[in-house]
Amino acid sequence: MIKYDRSNIKKIIDETGEKVVLLGAGNISGLTFKILSDLGVTVDYLCENDERRRNISNIREVKDYQGFKDLKVISYEELKNLGKKVNIFLSNQYIKYLLPKLEEDNFQNIFFSTELLKHKNLDEIYKGGLHPLKIKRIVDYYCEMTKKMDYLKSNHLSLKTLDVQITERCSLKCKDCSNLMQYYTKPQNAEMEDLFVSLDKIMSVIDSIDEFRVLGGDPFMNKEMYKVINKLDAYNSGARIAIYTNGQIIPKGENLECLRKKNVILEISNYGNISRNHDKIVKLCEDEKISYSTFKLEKWDDCGRIMPYSNKSEKELKHLFSNCCNSDLISLLDGKLYRCPFSANGTHLGAIPKNPNDTVNLLNKDLSKNELKKEIFNLYFNKDYLTACSYCNGRDYSSKHVPVAAQTREIMTFAKVNKTN
């Protein structure tokens, strides 16, 4: 890994006399491209192994960065043809999987984009449709992933995010919900005492956390949501608290009051007519000076169905997991930690076989702090795939797409393999 700073990156690149390639074609690459261009560094290629995204017109982010669309997109095999000394900026979130591959293939000039992204005015560089806070969080996530490579060597336990599921109840019944709420026959709110014990256990052993993601269902279906927000805020961890809502339920009372905390942001989905109170919630946030972000997706990835068991090979499972954009979403559900929300809810529902290696039981009183930290560390850093991967379509840029928030009147069914707790 080449060390540099913004003041000397052009000199370092020029001295190599080699081409410059951005590995990945998302917002991190777009920002990297723009900053390098401003510093006088010419970017020659985007490298994208997803065949669909090698067609530049299929890369959504190209319109947000001037000049980005003019870059030639190459495959990883074509990257290898450029030689071992080509300058590669590892500018996407799959660092854990891509860095070892680059090193195995003996590439010599590998750069993280982290130093470039230490820019005070990222919102001035980015002129696209995402909220500035969303861009900041994308950048923060990437920077945290670069740190993880060092953490692997130091036993430092830093979580980028923690999904805190406080209810299975939702005002919608989306048949393709990636958190699998459509499968719950008797949805319940989280048991607060166990939830708080679990949170205390986690916070007693981790070294840092960047963001809590409060989820459901819809968190506003739990009238005691504010207790969770107050609990998370009381840790004084400096972490953001993001609350995800579907744009139907207007918060009130103590659930509204807790949104005023400075580290809280309300993430409001906009599903068009389905999110019938979206505009009212946005106006409420603006009137009450509550931090919020709203986003409207044109399509969902087809990853919200529990599939029949598929006998995937170990190679297929590793590929699915390493390319999944949900594989780092550590999830807290019913006193247990899981590596992703699909694994969490699928196992909790009894649709996926229980595998003790895929969970950490936070309510196990026999675990010492050191043992607990080791188990969380192994769950977060040392998994190649999960049992749940055999029941999942995966979620990456090659995923099929389905309509956003399509509703179903029926409770979705599945074949049970576990008895739920």
Q: Is 343 helix (H, G, I), strand (E, B) or coil?
A: helix
Class of domain 155-402: alpha beta
Percent of the chain with pLDDT over 90: 61
CATH 3.20.20.70 domain range(s) in the chain:
155-402
pLDDT digits (tens, 9 = 90+) for 66-122: 677 788 889 889 999 999 999 999 998 778 778 888 999 999 999 999 999 987 677
List strands edge to edge, sheet with 45-47.
72-74, 45-47, 20-23, 87-90, 109-112
Q: Phi and psi (nearest 5°) for 400?
A: -70, 160
Model confidence at 61, pLDDT cuts 50, 70, 90, reads: low
Residues composing the chain: 421
CATH 3.40.50.720 domain range(s) in the chain:
9-132
Question: Is the predicted pLDDT of residue 161 greater than 50, yes or no?
Answer: yes
pTM exceeds 0.85 for this model: no
Higher pLDDT, 416 or 396: 416
37 Cβ contact list (under 8 Å, min separation 6): 43, 67
pLDDT digits (tens, 9 = 90+) for 344-361: 999 999 999 999 999 999
Q: For position 299, what pLDDT does the model report?
A: 85
Higher pLDDT, 145 or 373: 373
**Domain spanning 9-132: CATH 2.40.30.10:** no
d(CA 101, CA 79): 12
Mean pLDDT, residues 273-281: 96
Name the CA dihedral angle for 141, 54, 314, 417, rounded to a multiple of 10 degrees.
70
Model confidence at 421, pLDDT cuts 50, 70, 90, reads: very low
Model confidence at 62, pLDDT cuts 50, 70, 90, reads: low
CA count, 13 A, side-chain hemisphere, 228: 29
d(CA 387, CA 378): 15
Q: Is 79 helix (H, G, I), strand (E, B) or coil?
A: helix
